Amino acid sequence: MVLFTLCATFLCTFVLPLALFLAALKLWEVYCLSRKDPSCEKPLPPGSMGLPFLGETLQLVLQRYTFLKMKVRKYGHIYKTHLFGNPTVRIMGAENVKQILLGEHKLVSVQWPASVRTILGAGCLSSLHHTEHKHRKRVILKAFSREALENYIPVMGEEIRAGLRRWLESGSCVLVYPEIKRLMFGIAMRILLGFEPTHTTRQTQQELIEAFEEMIRNLFSLPIDVPFSGLYRVRIKQRRKREGIDPEKFRAVLFCVASELKESATELLFGGHDTTASTATSLVTFLALHPEVLQKVRVELQEQGLLSSDSAENKQITLELLEQLKYTGSVIKETLRLSPPVPGGFRVALKTFVLNGYQIPKGWNVIYSICDTHDVATNFSKKDEFNPDRFMEGCSEKDACRFSYIPFGGGSRSCVGKEFAKILLKIFTMELVRACDWELLNGPPMMKTNPTVYPVDNLPTKFTPFRNKM
């Protein structure tokens, strides 16, 4: 009798739950595979669909780099999975990406996860389609015209020089990543939203930064709005109440924005500060780890009369002059190749189509990977090395397949602010190398993505004034 009771207890406690769990997994797999289009003879890509309903979202969020590398090793350049509540195909490689980026409105359409659409708003540029997208894009591009960019240069230089002075005056360890985020946020607020520093206190600015960054941290989360979920934390009503921030401080951000751009204000701030902060932090890292590259940047600045302590402030910096900094531009390109701030883009299949021998069923999400496409590109020699010369004139790698190098995406959905970002990063590099020497106190950092690439340790760095001996 005792033995019977023990066996029954064991079966109820361990065997039955395990059997139910395995049955649920099998049913989930069968359900997901039933989404295959029977009219297409091609098979689905290889891969797994993860846990019931949750799919593999938790593994992606918690173990992003390890998870994605394991998937590539196991399944190759195209595989199926289940992410953010939807069956998904993840792709990489120039030819695969080319078909997706050039298939906008024919094969695929942009569709970011539900959490992104909720947080950024349904009216933001990345969520619009067809004529609405074209109209909004035209409006936003006016803010990035050549004339407008020329007017932004003095503000960029002023803010960056002030930030670098604070780093030098600190005399101690500077956590570069949060400092650069603060710097880039201030620039984006002034230029993109017309928010002058005199109109707000430093405390209010910090509150805005913290609130905005909480939104960004939870952009990619499970599409459920329950306590402790990412969506719940970033809902403005709950956040204002919890943090006690005056709602007028949030509305003030939009006062200076044209009515047609109000829906894109959050998106502009994200693109204008978070991605550039990620790349600027990577620039600090790569230049510290490669002093020979840093020296070549300084030689180029010297040739343009920009290296002396006051030259960049007294000499008028123009777009034409910045365009002469070819090697500096190549350093930025190489940084974006090895460490693209945005890991990829999201689409949804408008109809069933075939990609690289596999069917992509209608309604499935498609994620194209920027970082993995750079990693698997065959046209870059010694692709793990930091070598800006590969982007200089005369190098065969410079004009290789354009879909092997896509830090700003491509096609009709390429980043509208890419010229703004390039100029901002070039001015940041110029001001940094002419003003500072620096040392990474922890050596090469471990990188993480959430949602942009950043150093886990925040890149503690010691800055000292640069003494020009050239």
Known binding-site residue numbers for heme: 415
Please tell me the distance from the alpha carbon of residue 138 to that of residue 161, in angstroms, as a whole number.
32
Please tell me the distance from the alpha carbon of residue 206 to that of residue 181, in angstroms, as a whole number.
11
Distances 379 to 374, 390, 405 between C-alpha atoms, Å = 10, 10, 10
- Report the candidate in 186, 187, 184, 202 with the shortest Cα–Cα distance to residue 341: 184
Give the distance from CA 158 to its chain's centroid: 26
- Report the candidate in 164, 126, 216 with the shortest Cα–Cα distance to residue 453: 216
Rounded to the nearest 5°, which phi and psi values hold at 253? -60, -35
Torsion sign, CA atoms 267, 271, 277, 281:
positive
Please tell me the distance from the alpha carbon of residue 425 to that of residue 29, in angstroms, as a whole number.
46
| Strand blocks (E) in 77-148 | 78-83, 86-91, 108-110
DSSP 11: I
Q: Is the previous residue joined to 451 through a cis bond, with omega within 30 degrees of 0?
A: yes
> Computed over its alpha carbons, how large is the radius of gyration of the chain?
24
Please tell me the distance from the alpha carbon of residue 417 to that of residue 144, in angstroms, as a whole number.
7
**Binding site: what residues are annotated?**
415
Distances 133 to 137, 264, 344, 353 between C-alpha atoms, Å = 6, 12, 20, 24
What do you get for the CA distance between the two ends of the chain, in Å? 92
Rounded to the nearest 5°, which phi and psi values hold at 163? -65, -45
- Token pair for 212: 């905005």
Residue whose structure tokens are 């719940």: 232
DSSP string covering 268-301, please? Answer: HHIIIIIHHHHHHHHHHHHHHH-HHHHHHHHHHH
Continuous segment of H or E residues that includes residue 422:
helix 418-435
